[in-house]
Amino acid sequence: MSPKAVEHAIADRRPIEISPRVHWIGALDPDIRTFDVILKTANGTSYNAYVVRGSEGVAIVDTVKEEFADDFFARLEAVATYDEIRAIVINHLEPDHTGALPELMQRAPQARLYISFQAQLMLKALLKRENLEFTPVDTGDRVDLGDRSLEFLHTPYLHWPDTQCTYLREEEILFSGDVFGCHFCDPRLFNDTCGDFRFSFEYYYAHIMRPFREYVLRALALIEPLPLQVIAPAHGPILRDRPTAYVGRYRELAAPRLKREIFPGEKTLLIFYISSYGNTARMAEAIYAAAQEIEGVRASLYDLTGGETNSFADLLEEADGLVLGSPTINGDAVKPIWDLLSSLTVIDMKGKLGAAFGSFGWSGEAVRMIEDRLRGLKLRVPLQGVRLKLIPTPEEIEECRQFGRSLGEELMGRRANRVIDMSELLSSNS
């Protein structure tokens, strides 16, 4: 079909052929500008759903957002009847892909529902129905449609725990769910005929997939060996021209940006501070110098006022430890600290070493607040941070140095085992 014919067919609510046995039956949503609160889109999005026809039955892969169900059913009815449907595959249970599922299950009651095994509890929460019949599937499981078959790839956390991909081996088509997708609405539908969506593709990765980088790498290990003619994602253009280039781009995005100049056995500790009168800065310098004395520690010191939050977040993705120094102003840590911390939700910080410190004038709440936020970001915070009132004395600078040394030893796994009583723990955190 020509791009113009595709546009007309979509406007007429007709299905779009990807191959003689595979059709797109999704919906376009050109007016949406903010998706899931956190994502922007400059020209809307699409909810992609697909029909696969085998010699012994039809499978539906994903559905659409509820308000677009009429489009979905009109396209579906043009290419299959409900009694032919043997399988409904949901690659991801979020409502933009399952809005038409309850109605579809009513219209095709004989169809078996296939979801990832990690989607089971979510399905019950989503449909609010007891006695649901479905088959949980894992990597290697298959659904036989006669001369076509669907194989499942367990690709969790891309970007929910339940996400999976489905592979049509006979045609080398990967129904990838949100992986390789983007919020880009174009009625020409295919990557070789639609407008330039590269920034949408990268933006989607950065906001949706990047927090789960380790899982992206695991999914790529499953996807890269597959021969691919087409990648059919759940949002955005269908990738039929050089689909493996998009797989390769994910590999690049998930890999470190620059090779780190860090040697085996070394670990990196990044110390960020912001200071109103130079007191928190002096603490930072003492912590930095002392941490650097510990063998294997490669410490770096940054004044938060001298850089962009996003660049710092990039550094932190690769770091082993993060230390934040902030004064307390109006009972709170200062905004650049919160800006940096909020930017870290898009990267995987789990298990890294975290710590905080700061000088204050009256009350000094900032340090404990930062520590709580670091724990919320899933860092470990084994050392209680140093809080000093106004100008540090030489003894207090020594306390900062000791803190820096302890952080360095902790980072290198060289701290002796400590034994503490729970009551001590409860009182020290008050």
Partner 1 sequence: MAKATVTFADIGVTVTVPAGTRIIEISEKVGAGITYGCREGDCGTCIMKVVEGWDNLTEPSVLEGKVLRDNYAGKHHRLACQAQVLGGDIAVKPA
> Should residue 40 be labelled a site residue for partner 1 when binding is judged by CB under 8 A?
no
- From the list 371, 392, 393, the residue with the least C-alpha distance to 382 is 371
Identified binder of partner 1 from the candidate list 3, 44, 102, 161, rule CB under 8 A: 161
Distance CA 173, CA 168 (A): 5
Q: What are phi and psi of 168, to 5 degrees?
A: -100, 95
Between CA 397 and CA 278 the distance in angstroms is: 13
> In the set 74, 346, 381, 397, which binds partner 1 (CB under 8 A)?
381
Q: Is the dihedral of CA 130, 131, 133, 134 positive or negative?
A: positive
**Residue placing its CB nearer to partner 1 in the complex, 238 or 374:** 374
Backbone angles phi, psi at 233, to 5 degrees: -80, 175
Contact window for partner 1 (CB under 8 A) among 67-75, 96-104, 287-295, 379-387: 379-387
Q: Which of 102, 100, 85, 91 is nearest to 167 (CA)?
A: 91
Q: Which of 196, 261, 395, 421 binds partner 1 (CB under 8 A)?
A: 421
Compute the CA torsion angle 67, 68, 72, 73 (nearest 10 deg).
40
The region of 38-46, 208-216, 256-264, 414-422 touching partner 1 under the rule CB under 8 A is 414-422
Interface with partner 1 in residues 290-319 (CB under 8 A): none
Indicate the residue among 106 and 423 with the shorter CB distance to partner 1. 423
Cβ proximity to partner 1, 2 vs 417, nearer residue: 417
Angle (CA) 157-163-164 rounded to 5° is 120
- CB-wise, 337 or 355, nearer to partner 1? 355
Distance CA 221, CA 57 (A): 31
User: What is the closest distance, in whole angstroms, from the C-beta atom of residue 241 to partner 1 in the complex?
Assistant: 36
Nearest to residue 247, comparing CAs of 212, 221, 269, 267? Answer: 221
* Binding map of partner 1 across residues 326-365, x = CB under 8 A, - = no contact: ------------------------xx--------------
From 308, 378, 393, 398, residue interacting with partner 1 (rule: CB under 8 A): 378
Integer Cα distance of 323 and 82 in angstroms: 59
> Residue from 174, 383, 386, 388 that binds partner 1 (CB under 8 A)?
383
- State the binding string over 117-156 for partner 1 (x if CB under 8 A, else -): xx-xx-----------------------------------
| Residue 425 Cβ vs partner 1, minimum distance, rounded to whole Å | 5
Binding residues for partner 1 restricted to 99-118, rule: CB under 8 A: 117-118
* The pair of three-digit structure tokens given for residue 132, joined into one six-digit string: 């649901």
For the bound state, the minimum distance from the C-beta of residue 65 to partner 1, rounded and expressed in Å, comes to: 25
Alpha carbon separation from 19 to 1, 142, 212, 327, 365 (Å, rounded): 11, 21, 33, 62, 62
Complete DSSP assignment for 218-238: HHHHHHTTS--SEEEESSS-B
H-only helix segments in 377-393: none
Work out the burial of residue 247: count CB atoms within 10 Å of its CB; fewer than 13 is exposed, 13-18 middle, 19 or more buried: buried
249 versus 415: smaller Cβ distance to partner 1: 415
Nearest distance, CB of residue 362 and partner 1, angstroms: 26
How many residues of this chain interact with partner 1, rule: CB under 8 A?
26
Q: Least Å distance between CB 332 and partner 1? A: 21
Task: Determine contact, residues 16/50, Cβ cutoff 8 Å.
Answer: no
Single out the segment in contact with partner 1 by CB under 8 A; choices: 78-86, 172-180, 222-230, 421-429.
421-429
CB of 124 to partner 1, least distance (A): 11
* Contact by Cβ (8 Å): 168, 150: yes
Binding site for partner 1 (CB under 8 A): 117-118, 120-121, 161, 350-351, 375, 378, 380-383, 410, 413, 415-422, 425-426, 429
